[in-house]
Amino acid sequence: MTTHDKVKDMKRMILLAAHQAGEGHVASAFSILDALYVLYQAHVTYDTSDPRSANRDYVILSKGHGCLALYAVLSSCGFFPSEKLSTFCKFGSDLGGHPHCCKIPGVEASTGSLGHGLPMAVGIAKALKMMGKPNRVYCIVGDGELNEGSCWESLLIAEQHKLDNIVLLVDYNHSNDRAISYGDDLLGKLKSFGCTIEGVDGHNHGSIYFALGTGPVNGKVKCVVLETIKGKGIKEMENNPAWHHRAPTSEELNRFLEELA
């Protein structure tokens, strides 16, 4: 089974989970699924038997509404059984519409309010530096989320403290092409805030792998800008604002599962 086949399997699981729950940000999850899969398969240090291991890397999904992608990847890594996805957003389930760090093994931060994840990542990275530890901190933000001033304030602090143990992944799915905070030059703005930039196809596993694999530049935040398509893999869903937050009907589910076959 190829890596893309494995991602297709996870997309089926996400569709089923959203359908059964009657809600979910499916398109936002599909946007980041490839990057999350490659990240966990090839770059993140983790221990499913000890999710809070002192030797782990930290992954913070700041765009918490895309949590179905994180849940699917964590289950594929063995943090919890994949069957648990069927409980998504049901009464009493640990798997809510936004990730909860005290309930779900492998989740490092409770996110959902946009602009919170990167500040937390900066705090963790600074603490690791102070302790002289080599762990890395990966933070995934959305392009629309970068309208939050807290993201840019965090990058200024990261530059000041030379936090080269942070890798920032930007899900650039053009959900907010008229962004107030960076206009039409996102890469230039990130570079001006002290980041080293890698721009890649966010659905090409090889490109993601190599972009994440290059070492840090001394004293600089590494930023991988992922050029993505919201709803990638389902034509009706791709770049369709109507699918930002909704679940497929039974008829749509069958059609979408057939499209992914």
How far apart CA 159 and CA 221 sit, in angstroms, is: 7
**Residues 57-79: pLDDT tens digits?**
999 999 999 999 999 999 999 99
Task: Give the domain range for residue 130.
Answer: 3-259
Mean pLDDT for the stretch of residues 31-54:
98
How many domains is the chain built from?
A: 1
The pLDDT score that the predictor gives to residue 177 is 64
What's the predicted TM-score (pTM) here? 0.96
How far apart CA 163 and CA 218 sit, in angstroms, is: 9
What sections of the chain are H helices per DSSP?
Answer: 3-21, 26-42, 67-77, 117-130, 149-160, 186-192, 205-213, 250-259
Q: What is the mean pLDDT of the chain?
A: 95
- CATH number of the domain within which 105 lies: 3.40.50.970
**Residues 192-204: pLDDT tens digits?**
999 999 999 999 9
The pLDDT score that the predictor gives to residue 138 is 98
The pLDDT score that the predictor gives to residue 20 is 97
Residue 230: is its pLDDT beyond 80? Answer: yes
